[in-house]
Each structure stands twice: as C-alpha cells, then as structure tokens.
C-alpha cells in the first residue's frame, strides 16, 4: 500500500529542515496544530514575516554526501510528491490562510536536470495554472541547465544553490558527486540572469555545512565575501554540522552553536558594515574568537582607530564602533545636523547601544569615563558590561 499524501509531506517537510532560510526573530517551526508542523515562519523581502510551506519534492537521492540523512545508501524512509500533488497540498494550506508562501527543494532524485524539471513543473503549475502570486523560494539543483536556471529566476522570488563548503578541496571531503566549480557556475548564471531579467527580486542565497569538512571560518568568510562582491549574493547561511546516525560522519562532534553565531555576526559585517573578510580577527587556525563579537574583536585589535568623535566622524567610521549599526549611524548623522551630541542619553534615544560604544567614542570632545557615567546613572549596568 502506498503512502498517503499526509505521510509523504511529514517525511518531506522533516527533510526540508536541513535547508535554511531567514527565520523570523525568535521563531521556530509552528507546532500549534497538525497542519502547522509543515510551516516555517520566515522573513521575506521588505521585512515581512510569512508562513512558508517548507518541503522537499523528494527525499530519494542519488548522491553520497557524507553528512546527509538522505544520501543514497541511507536507510531512511523514502517519499516523493508529484508536482500536482505538491501544488494541491500547498493550495489547501494557502486557502485556509495557513501558508502564504512556498520553500521548495528536493534531493537529487535522478539527474540534476531531471530533478530541476520536476521542481519547475510544480512551480509553473502553481504560478501559471493556479495563478499564485505569493512568495516562492526555489532551490536550484546541482547540474541544472542554464535554461532551467533562467526559468527558476523568472518564476521564483528567491533562488538558492547550496555550496555546502567554501572551496573544491573542502567539498571533496563531503561528497564524491558534487562539483564545486559547477555549483559556483550556477550561482554565476543565476546572478547574470537576474540582472538581465529582473527576476528573483528577493535575491540569491547559498548555504554551508559548518564544521563537517574541517574548514576554517576564514575560508568560509573569504568565499562569502567574494560572492557578495561578484554575484550580488543576498546572504549566506551557515548551518552548524550535526552528526546523524547512519552517516559516515556520525562519529564527528557537532559544531558549536557559538561558532555558527560568530559566523553570522561576521557575515553581517561583510554585508552591511563595509568590512572585508581578510580584516576579521582570527586565531592561528583561521577561526573567529568564540568569546568575543567579531566587531568588538576588530576594535580591540585596532586601538589606533579610536576613539571616534561622534560629532565629526563619517558613516564608515561610525560603523566601526561597537554598538553602532547602519541605522544608528544614519540616526547620528541626522541628529547632529540639528544639535550637538553631548550626552550618552542622546545616543540611547537614537537606538545606540551606548554602553558598548562608550570605550570607543568621544562625546563633546571627551571620552566618557565609566566611573563617572555609573555615578551619574547615565549608563545602565548592562551597558557597561
């Protein structure tokens, strides 16, 4: 007896959990009722939060990725959805107001081109026959043809291609089947096709499995920095390795969540603060310090750049100050056109983490003294830590 659609989706939604998208702050997959187990709250373009139906089209895989539960010799329970079956399931959730968007991926069930064709068939059905105009994030398969990548860019709001590792030698340690140059080529195609057509308006992303191949943080950040510059990457995702029973890497230790956090913090500096990958402070093994935010580590390593005068510093200087982000820098630039910034309370009113900034700034030409600030109750104890 074949599997019911509900059972298939249970298996395929679980398998889709290994693909990362931008979760809403503090969010986790919804579990309020039976239907919600298939939904994932995510931030999409414009900062909107939508519930995505996050699912694989199939978990049947011909690849041998050593970290993956779906690898070809895995004993996992297999399932596949037909394109129309997938569309019916999604539309039922959508009509009930439960799912506003779709995150669709697949294991490599056959060749890359054949798997990509099935994914595109599902999305074309949803867009063209059913008239769905909501958010779709579509994975591009290894081996997909350029024409298929072009079609994905036309149909989806966001497309992504998982590199899994930062370079060919590291990827070779994870898979005998995946080719780094081919994956990178498809990222380049997607970038070129987006520029030509204006498609995939929410951008292009990639993902790494962190810690499975012995790569350093410096390697990961160097690749991400290059992709931000060269293919207009919207963002990179860093998925901490978790050993899975029955895989060749089941004996490896799990990657620390702290390492994943530091990578995301450093990546944010690359995307939004104007840092270069080679500026990051790393240890002898090329890894970020685990006990310090990467921005604070950089500031401590460059005392010659501080203190920064809040009243005269340019935007790029302000962005180097711990506690000041892009919005805070813009707020400072606007506020000081109206009045001199003399008081820590003025910074806090602008949304600045004033205590973090205190050791690195001048206010009214003077560097705030922690003891004096504490006595005057201008800084909270949390800010002074």
247-267: pLDDT as tens digits: 999 999 999 999 999 999 999
In CATH, 5-238 is 3.20.20.70: yes
Task: Characterize the bridge pairing of strands 235-240 and 49-56.
Answer: unpaired
Whole-prediction pTM:
0.90
Question: What Å distances lie between residue 363 and 299, 307, 352, 358, 378, CA to CA?
Answer: 18, 10, 13, 9, 13
| Angle value at C-alpha 33, between 30 and 39, nearest 5 degrees | 35
Q: What does the pLDDT read at residue 44?
A: 75
At residue 297, the pLDDT reads 97
User: In this predicted structure, what is the pLDDT of residue 133?
Assistant: 96
Q: Which two tokens stand for residue 305?
A: 């750049």
Query: How far, in Å, are 70, 109, 113, 177, 217 from residue 63 at the CA level?
Result: 9, 9, 14, 6, 26
Query: Cβ contacts of residue 235 below 8 Å, gap of 6+?
Result: 22, 203, 205, 267, 271
The pLDDT, as a whole number, for residue 21 is 65
How far apart are the C-alpha atoms of 358 and 379, rounded to whole Å?
Answer: 9
d(CA 340, CA 346): 10
For residue 235, give the DSSP letter: E
CATH 3.20.20.70-classified regions of the chain? 5-238
**Residues of the chain whose pLDDT is less than 70?**
1, 20-36, 369-385
CA distances to 110, 179, 294 from 72, in Å: 11, 17, 39
| Cross-strand pairs, 221 | none
Exposure string for 272-286, b = 16+ CB within 10 A, e = fewer: ebebebebbbbeeee
């Amino acid at each position: 007896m074949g599997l019911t659609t509900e059972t298939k989706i249970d298996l395929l939604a679980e398998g889709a959990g290994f693909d990362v998208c931008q979760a809403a702050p503090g969010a986790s997959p919804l579990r309020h009722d039976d239907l919600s187990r298939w939904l994932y709250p995510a931030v999409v373009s414009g900062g909107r939060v939508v519930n995505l139906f996050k699912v694989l089209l199939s978990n049947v895989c011909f690849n041998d990725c050593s970290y993956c539960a779906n690898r070809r010799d895995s004993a996992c329970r297999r399932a596949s959805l037909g394109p129309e079956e997938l569309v019916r399931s999604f539309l039922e959730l959508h009509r009930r107001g439960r799912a506003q968007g779709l995150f669709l991926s697949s294991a490599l069930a056959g060749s890359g081109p054949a798997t990509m064709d099935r994914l595109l068939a599902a999305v074309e059905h949803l867009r063209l026959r059913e008239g769905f105009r909501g958010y779709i994030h579509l994975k591009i398969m290894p081996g997909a043809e350029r024409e298929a990548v072009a079609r994905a860019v036309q149909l989806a709001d966001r497309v992504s291609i998982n590199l899994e590792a930062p370079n060919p030698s590291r990827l070779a340690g994870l898979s005998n089947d995946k080719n780094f140059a081919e994956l990178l080529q498809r990222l380049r195609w997607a970038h070129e096709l987006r520029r030509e057509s204006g498609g995939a308006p929410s951008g292009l992303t990639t993902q790494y499995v962190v810690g499975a191949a012995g790569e350093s943080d410096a390697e990961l950040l160097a690749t991400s920095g290059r992709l931000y510059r060269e293919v207009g990457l919207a963002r990179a995702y860093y998925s901490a390795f978790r050993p899975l029973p029955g895989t060749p890497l089941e004996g490896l230790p799990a990657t620390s969540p702290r390492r994943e956090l530091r990578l995301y913090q450093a990546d944010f500096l690359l995307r939004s603060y104007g840092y270069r990958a080679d500026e990051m402070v790393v240890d002898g093994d090329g890894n970020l310090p685990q006990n310090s935010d990467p921005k604070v580590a950089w500031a401590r390593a460059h005392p010659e750049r501080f203190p920064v005068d809040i009243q005269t510093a340019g935007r790029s200087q302000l962005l180097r100050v711990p506690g000041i982000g892009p919005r805070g820098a813009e707020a400072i630039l606007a506020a000081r056109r109206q009045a001199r910034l003399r008081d820590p309370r003025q910074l806090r009113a602008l949304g600045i983490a004033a205590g973090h900034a205190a050791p690195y700034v001048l206010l009214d030409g003077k560097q705030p003294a922690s003891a004096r600030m504490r006595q005057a109750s201008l800084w909270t104890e949390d800010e002074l830590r």
